[in-house]
Amino acid sequence: MLTLQYRKRFHYKLGGIQLSQTFNVEWSWIKDFVTKVFVAYGIPEDDAAICTDVLLASDKKGIESHGVNRFKPIYLDRLRDGIQSPVTNFEIIRETATTAVVDGHDGMGQVIGTKAMQMAIDKAKEFGMGMVAVRNSTHYGIAGYYTDMAAKAGCIGMTGTNARPSIAPTFGVENMLGTNPLTLGFPTDEEFPFNLDCATSISQRGKIEYFARVGQDTPEGMVIGRDGSAMTDSPAILEALVNGEAALAPLGGIGEELAGYKGYGFATFVEVLSAALQQGNFLRMLSGISETGEKQKFHLGHFFIAIDTEAFVGLESFKKTAGDILRELRASELAPGEERIYTAGEKEFLIWQERKETGLPLNEGVQKELIAIRDDLGWTEKLPFE
Amino acid sequence: MLTLQYRKRFHYKLGGIQLSQTFNVEWSWIKDFVTKVFVAYGIPEDDAAICTDVLLASDKKGIESHGVNRFKPIYLDRLRDGIQSPVTNFEIIRETATTAVVDGHDGMGQVIGTKAMQMAIDKAKEFGMGMVAVRNSTHYGIAGYYTDMAAKAGCIGMTGTNARPSIAPTFGVENMLGTNPLTLGFPTDEEFPFNLDCATSISQRGKIEYFARVGQDTPEGMVIGRDGSAMTDSPAILEALVNGEAALAPLGGIGEELAGYKGYGFATFVEVLSAALQQGNFLRMLSGISETGEKQKFHLGHFFIAIDTEAFVGLESFKKTAGDILRELRASELAPGEERIYTAGEKEFLIWQERKETGLPLNEGVQKELIAIRDDLGWTEKLPFE
């Protein structure tokens, strides 16, 4: 299946390029459909509403790679394969005034994530700071959802998660670390919060799938082959990533020349905070494949940090200064040929301004998947794009 | 003055290349000398001991760019110019169980930083987490000193600081953000803590000074010119950085191709946390030059976060898992032609293993500076390299 991660970042440059025929559905329709399906897969109604909200938050921001595109392969298929549970047992293993360790028992990552960040926020509201470490979780959707929760509550938010091994360490060639986002957010006096939601690799598989589809080489430095060279042949990379013959380079690239050790260091920090505080799994344990080649539970780990701005000089003062900084950055001198300077979260906000009117564009692959999901459930309702 | 930042990262590759004749002094001698000079500049004895410890911690790790190399230009000259105060008034503006806002009144950044991180650690030890935001501070030395403090106390440590504008935003060309380190550390079961102490730009001025001296071009992508192009002529870059005709690129490089918006986002996060929690200065306000062209107080801001691992599954368990992750990374498959895979803080530890025996190598420029400092103070003692 094609992921459209590229649209997030290249949206304004590529303009109207479409990867396939798309059909725009109304937000209310997709919300109802996805929720109904989640419920049909055994997820309790309240939890299903959360899972849908996290999933569509991604589409609303234009991050299709983590939205309805993933509904079937990442969530429904894993539920069907029995490697994650529709009913979420959110067990608090240990708790102090500001901290908690939670076992998610392989339930829905979005439910675990939402409850865990809410705990961190509640602790921050009472004690100034809060942090929750989670083990035995599953894919929790876009990390930025949780920092947005914190920002809405007037808090600085931080979150990270480990993931299937895909980044090679600096001077190494083996896919060891997950794309491990180090996700940061805070409130501002503008219409949208600061939200830096990014993998600690330069890129992700989705962008290389895009390059392959449009016949472009992958820029040098994004991917390292087993022989240590920078791979650029996009179709070859996609195959090599699957069989372990290639790995993603950390932010900063291959080797040390452009400071790849920094991205590698950030990825390592996220890996450790996602496992060592909670006695969770890490690195190769997170492959999702057992020694005998079968699919197995991922047992992912996450962490969630909330810091209440009210505990410092106050929310309004914080928001004003934060906004002033962001506005001053955007108003600084533009590079010739560029249209504008953005701050983190702004592009996603602009996409939502457009999409809330136009609805959600679904590409043909996703349309077919939704039809197959309906058929599989034995439902007869006609979908809008049929 | 020549900074030797390159030695930290290129140490093992460049081996024996020396930029100038060096002379190794004993640690006890340099410690006594630096402390005596700080005291002669009006710093109280206890504070002078802290300033020396932070300064030499950098040399011990092989980060000469932040060590004795900076003794005169960054600390003594600024004291003499009256833009920072030898006596540090560490004023707590506001305090809660887990948080504090501190005004440093332009005292010694190392003293402010050490006290602030100690406060964060003390709060974490009592309540699980602690965070201190500081305003009106001065250059606080290597950020990694403070995360090392946290790690020694069994805590995850995070710190950041704003600085003189030098990084251009993605799609911009103007030096707006400081090199804003996002510095992360934690304890492990090994002989040294994890310590990722890095600017959110690809590089710093010091490395370009090195390229200029050895006649090398600066790798494409590190520096952006006012016309938006990647500058590579090292001597031209050094001049352009001074007059604002060039800016450093964020980690990830110029534009979005290799995800420069991520480094830009991290730098922005550090800028905001270094100002908005404490009503401090930011961006262009931090130039150190007044509108009439005179040197002025920097009024820097920092933040310090400590998270007690004991509040989660316990220190020993944390250290073991963290160590296991780092060892597994180092033992993963090596790129052909590379010698080994490191983890953050390891190179610095290895340099200290060597240097604690051999003493501190001082290049000719620093030797001359130390002689001039002695003469200036009217002292007559002979220095070891005279």
Nearest to A341 among B171, B277, B342 (CB): B171
Nearest to B251 among A251, A257, A283 (CB): A251
Nearest to A312 among B9, B277, B284 (CB): B277
Q: Name the nearest CA neighbour of A113 among A282, A280, A301, A250.
A: A301
B351 touches chain A (CB under 8 A): no
* Chain A residues lying within 8 Å of B165, measured CB to CB: none
Q: Do B98 and A311 touch (CB under 8 A)?
A: yes
Structure ipTM: 0.95
Nearest to A329 among B176, B278, B334 (CB): B176
* Chain B residues lying within 8 Å of A262, measured CB to CB: 196, 198, 251
Confidence (pLDDT) at A19: 53
B89 touches chain A (CB under 8 A): no
B177 touches chain A (CB under 8 A): yes
Amino acid at B213: R
Q: Do B275 and A321 touch (CB under 8 A)?
A: yes
For residue A278, what are its two tokens? 């909670």
Residues 6+ apart with CB under 8 A from B222: A258, B202, B203, B207, B208, B230, B248, B249, B253
Nearest to B171 among A283, A322, A335 (CB): A335
Cα distances from A229 to residues A171, A172, A215, A223, A245, in angstroms, run 11, 11, 21, 8, 11
Mean pLDDT of B20-30: 93
Residues 6+ apart with CB under 8 A from A282: A162, A271, A272, A274, A275, A276, A301, B321, B324, B325, B328
Confidence (pLDDT) at A206: 82
User: What average pLDDT values come out for chain A (386 residues) when binned by 10 residues?
Assistant: 35 44 96 98 98 97 89 95 97 98 98 98 98 98 98 98 97 97 98 97 90 92 96 95 94 96 98 98 95 94 98 98 98 97 98 97 95 98 96
Confidence (pLDDT) at A20: 65
B148 touches chain A (CB under 8 A): no
Q: From A284, which residue of chain B is nearest by alpha-carbon distance?
A: B328
What pLDDT, in 10s, does the model give residues B218-275?
Answer: 999 999 999 999 999 999 999 999 889 999 999 999 999 999 999 999 999 999 999 9
Which of A171, A190, A248, A317 best tests the B interface by mutation, with the highest count of B CBs <10 A?
A171
* Chain B residues lying within 8 Å of A343, measured CB to CB: 169, 268
Q: What is the C-alpha to C-alpha distance for residues B208 and B224, in angstroms, rounded to an integer?
A: 13
Q: What is the C-alpha to C-alpha distance for residues A279 and A285, in angstroms, rounded to an integer?
A: 13
* Chain B residues lying within 8 Å of A130, measured CB to CB: 129
Q: What percent of chain B lies above the pLDDT cut of 90?
A: 90
Q: Which residue has the tokens 């009210």?
A: A310
What pLDDT, in 10s, does the model give residues B77-97?
Answer: 999 999 999 999 999 999 999
Interface of A with B in 223-282 (CB under 8 A): 224, 226-228, 251-253, 255-259, 261-266, 268-269, 271-273, 275-279, 282
Q: Which residue has the tokens 């509640």?
A: A122
Residue B236, classed as helix, strand or coil, is: helix
Residues 6+ apart with CB under 8 A from A237: A208, A212, A218, A223, A231, A246
Residue B32, classed as helix, strand or coil, is: helix
Confidence (pLDDT) at B11: 38
Confidence (pLDDT) at A207: 87
Nearest to B251 among A256, A262, A343 (CB): A262
- Tell me the shortest Cα–Cα distance from B321 to chain A, in angstroms: 5
Residue B21 pLDDT level (bands cut at 50, 70, 90): confident
Nearest to A97 among B128, B133, B273 (CB): B128
Interface of B with A in 19-78 (CB under 8 A): none
- Asked if B365 contacts B67 with a C-beta cutoff of 8 angstroms, the reply is no
* Chain A residues lying within 8 Å of B93, measured CB to CB: 313
A340 touches chain B (CB under 8 A): yes
Q: From B102, which residue of chain A is nearest by alpha-carbon distance?
A: A312
Residue B203, classed as helix, strand or coil, is: coil
B176 touches chain A (CB under 8 A): yes
Q: What is the C-alpha to C-alpha distance for residues B21 and A268, in angstroms, rounded to an integer?
A: 38
B315 touches chain A (CB under 8 A): no
* Chain A residues lying within 8 Å of B96, measured CB to CB: 127-128, 311
Residue B207 pLDDT level (bands cut at 50, 70, 90): confident
Which of B135, B269, B299, B324 best tests the A interface by mutation, with the highest count of A CBs <10 A?
B269
Q: Which residue has the tokens 């079968």?
A: A294
pLDDT of B365 above 80: yes
DSSP codes of every residue in B124-182: HHHHSEEEEEEEEE---S-THHHHHHHHHTTEEEEEEE--SS-BPPTTB-S--B----E
Q: What is the C-alpha to C-alpha distance for residues A213 and A250, in angstroms, rounded to an integer?
A: 23
Mean pLDDT of B362-366: 93
Q: Do B343 and A318 touch (CB under 8 A)?
A: no
Q: What is the C-alpha to C-alpha distance for residues B175 and B204, in angstroms, rounded to an integer?
A: 13
pLDDT of B317 above 90: yes
Domains of chain B: 4-81+359-376 (1.10.1530.10), 88-200+256-358 (3.30.1370.60), 203-248 (3.30.60.50)
Q: Do B196 and A251 touch (CB under 8 A)?
A: no
- Identify any residues that bridge with A92 across adjacent strands, giving them in sequence order: A102
Confidence (pLDDT) at A13: 34
- Asked if B86 contacts B78 with a C-beta cutoff of 8 angstroms, the reply is no
Q: A with B: how many residue pairs have Cβ under 8 Å apart?
A: 294
Q: What is the C-alpha to C-alpha distance for residues B268 and B179, in angstroms, rounded to an integer?
A: 10
* Chain B residues lying within 8 Å of A10, measured CB to CB: 256
Nearest to A328 among B127, B283, B338 (CB): B283
- Tell me the shortest Cα–Cα distance from B78 to chain A, in angstroms: 27
Q: What is the C-alpha to C-alpha distance for residues B155 and B120, in angstroms, rounded to an integer?
A: 10
Residue B92, classed as helix, strand or coil, is: strand
Q: Do A171 and B334 touch (CB under 8 A)?
A: yes
Which of A123, A180, A258 best tests the B interface by mutation, with the highest count of B CBs <10 A?
A258
A309 touches chain B (CB under 8 A): yes
Confidence (pLDDT) at B19: 53
For residue A125, what are its two tokens? 């509201």
* Chain B residues lying within 8 Å of A101, measured CB to CB: 312-313
Nearest to B318 among A186, A277, A335 (CB): A277
Residues 6+ apart with CB under 8 A from B60: B27, B348, B351, B352, B355, B356, B360
- What are the start-end ranges of the E strands in chain B? 22-25, 91-95, 99-103, 129-137, 155-161, 182-186, 194-196, 223-225, 246-248, 300-308, 360-363
Confidence (pLDDT) at A109: 98
- Tell me the shortest Cα–Cα distance from B323 to chain A, in angstroms: 9
* Chain A residues lying within 8 Å of B329, measured CB to CB: 169, 172, 176-177, 268, 283
- Asked if A108 contacts A295 with a C-beta cutoff of 8 angstroms, the reply is no
* Chain B residues lying within 8 Å of A316, measured CB to CB: none
> 3-state DSSP helix/strand/coil percent for chain A, to nearest 5?
45, 15, 40
Confidence (pLDDT) at B8: 39
Cα angle at B381 between B377 and B386, to 5 degrees? 105
